[in-house]
Amino acid sequence: MTLLDVARAAGVSKSTVSDALQGSGRVAESTRDRVREVAEQLGYRPNSAARRLRRSSTGAIGLHLPQTATRLDYYMNLAFGAVQRAQEDGLDVVLLAAPAGAASGPLASRVDGLLVIDPEIGDSAVPGLLDAGVPVVTGERYLGPSPTPTGAVVCDNAASLTALLDHVQGRGARRPALLAPEGASAWAEALRGTAAAWGGSHGSQVAVRTVPFAATPADAEAATRRLLASDPAIDAVVCAPDGAAPGVLRAAAALGRTVGADLLVASCVDGVANRGASPPVTAVDLRPAAYGRACAELLCDILAARTPPDTVRRHAWALETRPSTTG
């Protein structure tokens, strides 16, 4: 079932069929309709390999997630959002594993563009991806040296953490603390900077402790115990990493604190762990599916030359207040 078959059936040439179906070229409207109908009826499906060869595009984009992603449902949602958006432009999304360009073929001939989510300095695959010779969109900025400018979709982490701190202050907290992720990601940097700035402008220092980028509840529990032991006046804990807040709740319970009353708890990343906790935990909803969609959309726009390759867009977040801070 090729273009030629359709052409024969419709009594026109393959060029006309191509033009008719593509919407390009000069084709009479009547012919176009007829061709479309014949193609539809014959169940014609363009051969993507031939199309890609001719157009010298691959019809696919690559998606790279942090190695730690294997733990976070956040990235799963993001991935599906990206797939949905890419699909609207007829693009496939191929999942990139650790040794990106190594074993398999060259990236450039396999994808038209790349989505690199939360690129960390320590991730050895990232430089190769940024330098693959295809347009790149990063989710959050890459803080390392970048050979070429890339597009990016960024969250205003400063604003969201500020909102969180303002919120707990509004609920009576006087000495908030932050469990910040380690690592040199844009996210980690922004949180630390914002905590310091907020402390400066509000007169009360924010106590900052470091936990792993992909902290487990156990990590958060241990960090919280140490934190509250060293400074019992802490009356609010903002736990940055996804899924770790339940650990804060456990530590609070163990230390006889009442979450929502004498200890407020919040998280910088919303997720099922926060919604399902007891009490449910106030969090910043980064809306991962929409975020993935936004990244894919930007890349599609860049590929279609609808926007310059170094475009930066913002992604909106929302504060979800729950009993862990509202009592």
Positions in the binding site for a copy of itself (CB under 8 A):
45-50, 52-53, 56, 58, 60, 63, 69-73, 75-77, 79-80, 83-84, 87-88, 90-99, 103-106, 108-110, 216-219, 221, 243, 246-247, 250, 272-273, 275-278, 289
Q: At what angle do helices 29-42 and 3-10 cross, to 10 degrees?
A: 120
Instruction: Give the DSSP H or E segment for 187.
Output: helix 186-202
Q: State in angstroms the smallest separation of the CB of 96 from DNA.
A: 22
| 13 forms part of the interface with DNA (CB under 7 A) | yes
Name the residue among 293, 241, 305 with its Cα closest to residue 267: 241
Instruction: Give the DSSP H or E segment for 30.
Output: helix 29-42
Q: Which are the contacts of 146, defined by CB distance < 8 A and separation ≥ 6?
A: 130
| 24 forms part of the interface with DNA (CB under 7 A) | yes
Name the residue among 213, 192, 197 with its Cα closest to residue 269: 213
Say how many C-beta atoms besides its own lie within 10 A of residue 117's C-beta.
Answer: 23
Which among DNA, a copy of itself, none contacts residue 18 (Cβ within 5 to 8 A by kind)? Answer: DNA
Q: State in angstroms the smallest separation of the CB of 36 from DNA.
A: 12
| 46 forms part of the interface with DNA (CB under 7 A) | yes
Q: Which is nearer to a copy of itself, 85 or 141 (CB)?
A: 85
Site for DNA in 56-75 (CB under 7 A): 56
The three-class DSSP label of residue 270 is coil
Which among DNA, a copy of itself, none contacts residue 98 (Cβ within 5 to 8 A by kind)? Answer: a copy of itself
Residue in this structure with the two tokens 């390392």, named with its chain if needed? 144
Can you tell me the distance from the alpha carbon of 159 to that of 224, in angstroms, rounded to the nearest whole number? Answer: 24
**Interface pick for DNA out of 28, 108, 184, 261 (rule CB under 7 A):** 28
| 15 forms part of the interface with DNA (CB under 7 A) | yes
Q: State in angstroms the smallest separation of the CB of 35 from DNA.
A: 9
Q: Which is nearer to DNA, 4 or 318 (CB)?
A: 4
Task: Please choose, out of 47-55, 134-142, 220-228, 307-315, the segment that lies near DNA by the rule CB under 7 A.
Answer: 47-55
**Interface pick for DNA out of 33, 40, 55, 254 (rule CB under 7 A):** 55
Residues in binding contact with DNA, number by CB under 7 A: 29
Q: Where are the beta strands (DSSP E) in the chain?
A: 60-64, 92-96, 113-117, 136-139, 151-155, 176-181, 207-211, 236-239, 264-267, 282-285, 312-315, 318-320
Q: State in angstroms the smallest separation of the CB of 278 from a copy of itself.
A: 6
Which among a copy of itself, DNA, none contacts residue 234 (Cβ within 5 to 8 A by kind)? Answer: none
| Residue 306 structure tokens | 């609808």
Can you tell me the distance from the alpha carbon of 64 to that of 44, in angstroms, rounded to the nearest whole number? Answer: 33
Q: Which is nearer to DNA, 238 or 300 (CB)?
A: 300
